[in-house]
Amino acid sequence: MKNGLYAFLALVFIAGTILPGNLLAKEKILAHSMSTVTIYWFASQRDEVTDVCKKRGVTHWFVDGQNRADKQISDLEDLAVKKPDIVLINTMFANAIKPGVEALQRAGIPIVVLSSPLAAGMKMNCWVSADEREITRQVAIEAAKRVNYEGAWVHIEGQPGSLINKVRGEAFLEVVNQYPKMKRIGPFIGNYVRHEALRIMEDVLQSHKEPIKMVYCHNDDMALGAIQALKEAGRMKGTLVVGNNAIEEEVRQAINNGELGLSGRWPTFGKEAATIACDYLLNGKPLPEKFFLPPYIASKETLDKW
């Protein structure tokens, strides 16, 4: 019996020395904290991260802030205690969630931030995003050209407090404010939600009988709501509708049939960030400080590059 036990232990030792390290390594855990998943863009990001982790054999913990900064702070502080190997963060509350981020940093957990950066001065190990200001400027330049630099236009913003929402407003105005014949109606707060933009556009069309040359929305879902209102009012013809994100098939179809004129591509960054994180966890590949995707403006003329 004793000889048999020694032989078994010897086999275990030999297996441990010759099996590949990744077969014996402990479970790798990637945690993913988001502000909300009630918006298509955010839900798509979650699904992309889930898919990459599944394919790479990395455990995926997902926590939903339920559109509340205090909930996301609590989520991050809880992760700091549970100690996953890396944390991905996407937020609409960059300034407010500072305590949760600091808890992760004290725990020594690497942080990958998707889309908007953290608040000024806050450290992150990796930032996966794109140049939203330049994307928006390119959209605005083309939009202004298409309306011949004149006419009334409607501005429907996303959710206040979001850095991306702020940039999408500022960069667009930097361009169109150069043209005094372009008159803004708004801005209105649509919270990135289609039915809210639909209601806003219905109200605008009721109170403004002059031609609306352009509607600029901070995401495509709101742009689709504005299109619905314009069509129902019989005022779609001659109005350029502009959105942002360019990731949904429904948006592609709206561009192809001429209802949505332009949309600045803003991918979810889930696939890219999860791939970078998994390469770090499984292969020891260093995290890049910054990984930016190239700009793309979706229009009927560029759909072949979608």
Looking at residue 8, its amino acid is: F
| In-domain check, residue 3 | no
Considering the domain architecture, whether residues 186 and 138 belong to the same structural domain is answered as yes
Residue range of the domain that includes 253: 132-265
| In-domain check, residue 92 | yes
Q: Which tens digit of pLDDT belongs to each residue from 137-166?
A: 999 999 999 999 999 999 999 999 888 999
| In-domain check, residue 83 | yes
Considering the domain architecture, whether residues 147 and 254 belong to the same structural domain is answered as yes
Considering the domain architecture, whether residues 77 and 185 belong to the same structural domain is answered as no
Considering the domain architecture, whether residues 236 and 278 belong to the same structural domain is answered as no
Whether residue 222 has pLDDT greater than 90: yes
Q: Which tens digit of pLDDT belongs to each residue from 180-195?
A: 999 999 999 999 999 9
Q: Where are the strands (E) in the chain, listed by range?
A: 29-34, 59-64, 86-90, 111-114, 126-130, 151-157, 182-189, 212-217, 240-245, 262-265, 290-293, 297-298
Considering the domain architecture, whether residues 88 and 209 belong to the same structural domain is answered as no
Considering the domain architecture, whether residues 260 and 281 belong to the same structural domain is answered as no
Q: Where residue 80 sits, what CATH number does that domain have? A: 3.40.50.2300
Considering the domain architecture, whether residues 63 and 25 belong to the same structural domain is answered as yes
Q: Output the average pLDDT for the chain.
A: 92
